Amino acid sequence: MDDTSRQGDEQYRNVNVDDVTARRMAEDALRESEQRIRRLGDNLPDSFIYQYTHDADGSPRFLYVSAGIERLNGVTVEEVLNDAGALHRQVDPEQFPALVEAEQASARDLTTFAMDLRLRRPDGEWRWMQVRSTPTRTPDGRVVWDGVQTDITDRKEYEREVKRLNRLYGALSQVNQAIVRITSRDELFQEVARALVEYGKFPMVWIGLHNPATHAIEVAAQQGDEMGYLNGIRVFADDRPEGRGPTGTAIREGRPYVCNDFLSDPRTVPWRESATRAGWRSSAAFPIRLGGDVCGALMVYDREVNFFGEREVALLEEVALDLSFGLLIVEREILRNQSETALRRSEEKFRDIFENAPVGIFQSTTAGRFLRVNIALAGMFGYGSPEEMIADVTDIAPQLFITPGQRTEVIRLALESEKFARSEVEYRRKDGSFFIATLSMRVVRSDNGDIAFFEGFVEDITERTHAEREIIRLNTDLEQRVRERTAELEGANSALKQEIEYRKKAQEEVIRLNLDLLRQKAALQAVNKELESFSYSVSHDLRAPLRHLDGYSRILEEDCALKLDESERKYLRRIRTAAAKMDRLVDALLQLSRMTRTEIALHPVNLSAMARGIVEELARSGPDRNVAATIEDGVVVKADPRLMRIVMDNLLGNAWKYTSQKEGALIEFGTTEARGRRACFVRDNGAGFDMAYANKLFGAFQRLHREDEFEGIGIGLATVQRIIHLHGGEVWAEGVEGEGATFYFSLE
C-alpha cells in the first residue's frame, strides 16, 4: 500500500470515529432532555404530562404518563399504561360522548385537543381537569398526542362561586329597585321573591309573616313552588316541633339559620317527606324586622347540599335587611297616606262645620280684619255673603262693636288664658240695628310662638236675653206667690220631717250593711290565709309521711325480696299504689284550693285554636286511637287564658278518656244557645252517665265510673266548675249512659 492509500484509510477511520462520537453525544443529549422533561412532568404540582395514541385496532393506549397522575387522578402510572380505560372510566358519563367526538376531530384535522373534563377519582371525589394536547402523525400513519392535564377544580369552584355571587348581586339590585318604586307591602314581598328566583336562580323562595296570636307563620309571598311544598306543611315560631325548624328559629331568635343538609338536620324532621318530594337539599332562613321587632322570615331553598357559603349568606342577609328597610318605608308610606287622608277628611269636616254651623264662626287678624267668616256670621250682621262682609269690614271694633273696648278686653282674656275667652257683647248690624251676642274667642299661634290669628264663635242671644228678663219679672211675681203659699206649706212640713227621719234611718241601715260586708270581707281574707296555711300543711306535712311510706315499702320490697312470698310482695305493692294515689289526691286537693284564691285577668281567648292544639296533643299521646274531632272555628271569649286552658284540658281530656272503649269515637267542640245565653260545649259519644247522678259530677273526688274502667281521681270537673264560677259563669252537663255526654259552660 502506498503512502497515499494509507493516508486515505486513516482519514476514513477518523471520520467514522467522529460520526460515532457525535451520534453518541446526540443520543446522550436526547436522553438527558427526555429525563429533564420526565423530571419536570413528575414534579408538576397540579398537572401531569402524557403521550397518547390509538393502536391499529382503535383501542386507546398511553405511551407515556408522568407520575403526577397519581396525585391528580388517584391511579398509578402502571395502571394507566396497562389500561387506558382506567382513566377514561373516570370521565363524567354525560361528557364522554363529547370527549370522543373532540378526539376524533383532533385526529382527523390534526388540531389541538382542549376540554374541561369532570372526573371522579376512585375515592369518590369529583375533580375538574383541563386537558390540552397537540396531535402529530407518525410515519406509520398513527396519530400521537402530546399533552398535559391540569387540575382546575379550585378555578371551577371560584368561577361557580362568582356566578352565584353575580346572580345574588343581580337579585339584590332588583330588590333595591323594588324598594324605591313599590308602595304596597304585598307587591314588595312578591317582587323580592321573584327577584331571588329569576335573578338569583334559586328554585324556590317564600316570605312568611308571624301571627303573634297563634304563632303560625303565614305565607305572604312565594315564587317557584311548582311542587306545592308550601300547601302541605305547617310552620310555627313557638317551641313545638313545627316551631323549631329554620323559619321558626330565625324568627324566635332573630338571627339567620342556615341548613346545608336539609335531610340530615334534626330540626327539619316535620318537613323532610315534603322536602324530599320537592327536591330541596339546602335552605336558609333570614329574619325580617319592622321597627326593630322580628315580624317574619325570608326563606330560600336550593337543590344542592352545602349550597349556602359565607358569601351567599352575607348577601342574603343584606337582601333581608333591605327588605326590612323597604317594609319600614312601605309602612311609613301607608301611615303617611293615612295621616294625609285623615288630615284631608279633618279639613273637609272643619270646612263643612265652618260653612254650615248654625252659629257665627270667624278668623281675624290682630289689626281687626276678618280672614274668614261663615254664612251664619255674615247673615247675623246683615251681609249677603261672607265675601261681602270681609270686604266691607276693615276695622272690626269700631264698625261692629257698640262699645269698641269690649273686643280689646276679650283679646286680653284670650291672651292670658290661651283658651277660649267668653263675654257678652253688643253688636251693630250693617243697617245700624244692634243685637246682643255671646263672643267666644281664642288666640292661634304659629310654630314659632307668634300670634297667627284669632278665631271664635258668635251666638245671637238677643231673644234669649229678652226671655231671661221676662223670666226675672215672672220670678218676682212667683216669689210673691211663694210667700203667699208658704203658710199653706208649713202644714206639710211635719210630714216632710217624718219622711226625712225615715230616710235617715234607711241611710243608717245601709251604713250598717256596708260595715257587715267589710267584716265579711275581712273574715273571707282570714279564711283564705287559713286555706293557704292548710295548703302548705298538706303539701309538706302530709306528703312527708307518704314519701316515707312509699320509700320504706320500696326498700322492704327490694331488700327482702327473697324472704317474702308472693302474697307479702303483693301487699307491699298495694301499699305503694295506695301511697301514690294519696299523693295524686293531695295534688288535686291543692289545685282545687288554689282555684278558690286565683285572681283572673281577662283577655280575648281563641278557644277554637286552643281546642285544636289540645286535640293534636292528645292524638300524639295515643297514636293508636282513631278519634274524629270536629272543632268550630272562631270561638273567642273574654276570659283568663291560663284558667281556660285548664278548663279545656279537663273537658277534652275527659272526652278522650271516656271514648277509649268506643269504636268510631267522636269528639265535638262548638257553641249553642242554651238557657237563654251563648254557651260553649264539649260533646262525645263515649261512656256517658246516668242523669240521676248528675248532681255528683262537679263534686270533688266524686266519680260515676270505677277506677279499673277509667283512671282518674275525680277532681277535674270540680276544678272546671270553680274556674267557670270565678268568671261569673255557669257549667252543667247532659248525658245518656253508654251513649255519650255533653258538658256546657257559659261565661256571660
The pLDDT tens digits of the residues spanning 590-630 come to 655 555 556 778 899 999 999 999 999 988 988 888 899 99
**CA-to-CA distance for 644 and 432, rounded, in angstroms?**
76
Tell me the C-alpha distance between 193 and 181, whole Å: 16
Question: What are the pLDDT digits (tens) for 294-310?
Answer: 999 999 999 988 888 88
* pLDDT beyond 80 at 31: no
Mean pLDDT, residues 703-715? 60
- The confidence band for 473, taking pLDDT boundaries of 50, 70 and 90, is confident
Greater confidence (533 vs 234) lies with 234
Q: How far apart are CA 255 and CA 294, in angstroms?
A: 10
pLDDT band at 527 (very low <50, low <70, confident <90, very high): very low
Cα radius of gyration (the chain): 49
Instruction: Please report which helix (H) or strand (E) contains residue 444, including its range.
Output: strand 434-445
Burial 435-446 (b: 16+ CB within 10 A, else e): bbbbbbbbbeee
Give the homologous superfamily in CATH for domain 601-746: Histidine kinase-like ATPase, C-terminal domain (3.30.565.10)
- Mean residue pLDDT across the chain: 82
CATH of domain 44-151: 3.30.450.20
Q: What is the pLDDT at residue 540?
A: 53
* CATH entry, 356-460, from 3.30.450.20, 3.10.20.310, 2.70.160.11, 3.40.640.10: 3.30.450.20
Q: Which CATH superfamily is domain 159-332 in?
A: GAF domain (3.30.450.40)
CA distances from 447 to 47, 418, 444, 451, 452 (A): 79, 15, 10, 10, 9
The answer on pLDDT for 670 being more than 90 is yes
Q: How far apart are CA 670 and CA 344, in angstroms?
A: 45
pLDDT of residue 5: 53
Nearest to 288 by CA among 180, 204, 170, 175: 175
Percent pLDDT > 90 in the chain is: 34
Contact 106/131 with Cβ under 8 angstroms? no
Task: Supply 179's cell numbers.
Answer: 324598594
Residue 543 cell numbers, joined? 306528703
Determine which helix (DSSP H) or strand (DSSP E) holds 220, and give its type and residue range.
Answer: strand 217-223
Encode pLDDT of 398-446 as tens digits: 999 999 998 999 999 988 887 888 889 999 999 999 999 999 999 999 8
Whether the Cβ atoms of residue 237 and residue 251 lie closer than 8 Å to each other: yes
Q: Are 686 and 709 contacting, i.e. CB atoms less than 8 angstroms apart?
A: no
Q: Name beta bridge partners: 137.
A: 143
Per-position DSSP letters for 676-693, written without gaps between them: TEEEEEEEE-SS---GGG
SS3 letters across 233-295: CCCECCCCHHHCCHHHHHHHHCCCEEECCCCCCHHHHHHHHHHHHHCCCEEEEEEEEECCEEE
687-719: string of b/e by CB count within 10 Å (b at 16+)?
A: bbbeeeeeeebbebeebbeeeeebebbbbbbbb
pLDDT at 518 over 70: no
Q: What is the pLDDT of residue 235?
A: 94
Q: Which of 33-42, 256-265, 321-330 has the highest mean pLDDT?
A: 256-265
Q: Which three cell numbers stand for residue 306?
A: 352545602
Confidence band, pLDDT 50/70/90 cuts, at residue 669: very high
Residue written as grid cell 275527659? 654
- CA quadruple 265, 266, 270, 273: dihedral positive or negative? positive
Q: How much is the average pLDDT of 254-282?
A: 93
Residue owning grid cell 376531530: 105
8: Cα separation from own chain's centroid? 109
Q: At CA 13, angle to CA 12 and CA 16, rounded to 5?
A: 90
DSSP-derived 3-state class of residue 372: strand
Q: Residues 176-189: what's their mean pLDDT?
A: 82
Q: Does domain 498-597 have CATH number 1.10.287?
A: yes
> Would the pLDDT of 491 be above 50?
yes
Packing angle of the helix pair 641-658, 607-621 (nearest 10 deg): 40
The half-sphere exposure of 573 on its side-chain side, counting CA atoms within 13 A, is 8
The number of CA neighbours under 13 Å toward the Cβ of 51 is: 11
- Residue 208: is its pLDDT beyond 80? yes
Three-state SS at 226? coil
Residue 524's pLDDT band, with cuts at 50, 70 and 90, is: very low
The whole-angstrom separation of Cα 173 and Cα 193 is 13
